[in-house]
Amino acid sequence: MDHKYIDEFDIVERYLARRLAEGETTEFEEHFVDCLECVGRLETTRAFVDGLRRVASDRAAAALDRSSATLGNARSTISRKAFAVAAGVLSVIIVAAAVLTFAQVRRYRAEADQSRSASTEWERRYEEERQVSAAAEKKRQESESELTEQIAQLRTELERKTEEEPAKMAEVNVPILALISTRGTDASSGTLNEVFLPRSSRSFFLSVQLEGAREFKTYRMTIESSQRQPIWKRGGFSPNAYNSLSASLSSTLFRPGRYLLTLDGIAPDGSISIVSQIPFHVRK
Amino acid sequence: MSVVSTANEELVDIVRRITAGDSTAEDEVIRRYEHGIAAIIDNVVRNQSITEDLCQETFRIVIEKLRRGDLRQPESLSGFVCGVARQAAIDYIRRARRSKLREEIGNADHISDPAPNQLDELLARERAEIVRQVISELKGGRDREVLFRYYVSEEDKNEICSDLGITRNHFNNITYRALARFKELYVRKVVDPERQ
């Protein structure tokens, strides 16, 4: 700390008024403790300030004494002039207080208005951002449903193409497994139907001839392996004009071995009854 | 050689001599620092007689420590002296508060009287009289207002300048002239009245 700094930042006065930060106080003390010039300035300023405060205090005390004396005189010898002066001073004080209060109120109102408009501005920004966010969410949902629709379409297309593909390539000499269903036929009865599936065949036809009157409106077919593993199942079959049920099956589902076809009849009330069970043997 | 290094060398020499038992070096320390530590202590306790007592206590501690060689860095003698003075003032304030508390609960064994004595009161009145003369010599009410607002009300300098429409330079001139005149009269009437 040098004298230029001390002068520029009023260090002496601020030190005496105890308005220096702790670091600055220490630094200044370590400077002036060994600096006669600064110590002299400190002592002079302190003495002057003490004297000035004493003068101010004496003046205030004198003014108080004078006003007390004035009031005391007014009681014994009522002076209209003194009262008028006192009343005038009081009026001035009241008016000044009112003006100050009014100015204060105006300031508070202005601050309140400012706060209100700031609050309104924040609300408007919040609403804006909320709307932007809602619009973005809506757009996201629309995109999602669009994508879902596209996926469904593609899936349908794929399934259709998959179904069509084999049809496009015409297959000849497709094996046909013709079975006869007789009510009450179970797996143990009847001869084992043999089906020879060439390895080049991609599919074969299954035709089940229904014997007797049409008891059910719709039928369900289930094919299981010899280990009771479900291989294929389809419902909703209705007898054709020849009182038979037919289905096209993929050869790849069937390895060489024994299988069991179960034919269920579906009653109008939804109840299911086994019509027949027909074993067959696949050879390749 | 720089001023700082010369000053440091002086301090190192003083400390070395005190440690060696040189009593003139001890007097030198007292002369060098007495006004400074008085200012530090008085800024805390604000009482002249107590300041004098605490100054003596400070020097007693400082000289004892220097004789024992407790000051490891002799070039920091000024900071060391400041620290001892500050601590002496703070310790006094703490003792005074404890004493006041015991007094309040009727348990005091010693009550220190912080009120100024007659000499202090006399000096205070002399100072006030000199200040009145300085103020009466001021040319305008604005200069008086600057002094009262800055030193008595402790208002901010920039605010005063702004209110009164004066520059900082003008402000500094007012305070400088008032202080200079005060010092002149004070030295003439109080410090060295025989010259008058």
Neighbouring C-alpha atoms within 13 Å toward the C-beta of A31: 20
Conformation bin of residue A184: beta by default, left when phi > 0, alpha when psi is -120 to 50: left
Answer whether residue A255 shows pLDDT above 70: yes
Q: What is the DSSP string of A205-270?
A: EEEEEEPSS---SEEEEEEEETT--EEEEEEEE---TTSEEEEEEEGGG--SEEEEEEEEEE-TTS
Query: What is the pLDDT at residue B37?
Result: 95
Neighbouring C-alpha atoms within 13 Å toward the C-beta of A254: 31
Confirm if A174 and A146 have CB atoms less than 8 A apart: no
Interface touch A33/B125, C-beta < 8 Å = no
The whole-angstrom distance between residue A173's C-alpha and the CA centroid of its chain comes to 62
Confidence of residue A124 (pLDDT cuts 50, 70, 90): confident
Query: What is the pLDDT at residue B109?
Result: 46
User: If you measure CA to CA, which chain B residue comes closest to A44?
Assistant: B183
Take residue A119 and report the two structure tokens written for it: 């609050």
Confirm if A197 and A233 have CB atoms less than 8 A apart: no
Q: Provide the whole-model pTM.
A: 0.52
Answer whether residue A77 shows pLDDT above 70: no
Query: What is the pLDDT at residue B167?
Result: 93
ipTM of the complex: 0.85
Interface test with A, best of B75, B78, B151, B168 (most A CBs within 10 A): B151
Mean pLDDT of A159-182: 65
Query: What is the pLDDT at residue B110?
Result: 45
Answer whether residue B36 shows pLDDT above 90: yes
Compute the C-alpha angle A164/A168/A171, nearest 5°.
115
Interface touch B151/A48, C-beta < 8 Å = yes
**Facing residue for A52 by CB, picked from B32, B39, B147:** B147
DSSP label of B20: T
Distance from C-alpha of A223 to C-alpha of B183, rounded to nearest angstrom? 124
Answer whether residue A34 shows pLDDT above 80: yes
Residues in chain B within 8 Å Cβ distance of A50: 124, 127
Nearest chain A CA: its distance from B183 CA (Å): 6
Distance from C-alpha of A128 to C-alpha of B160, rounded to nearest angstrom? 48
Interface test with B, best of A52, A53, A54, A58 (most B CBs within 10 A): A52
Query: A59 or B103, which is more confident?
Result: A59
Conformation bin of residue B147: beta by default, left when phi > 0, alpha when psi is -120 to 50: alpha
Answer whether residue B41 shows pLDDT above 90: yes
Distance from C-alpha of A166 to C-alpha of A174, rounded to nearest angstrom? 12
- Mean of the per-residue pLDDT values of chain A: 81
Report the percent of chain A where pLDDT is more than 70: 85
Interface test with A, best of B34, B82, B153 (most A CBs within 10 A): B82
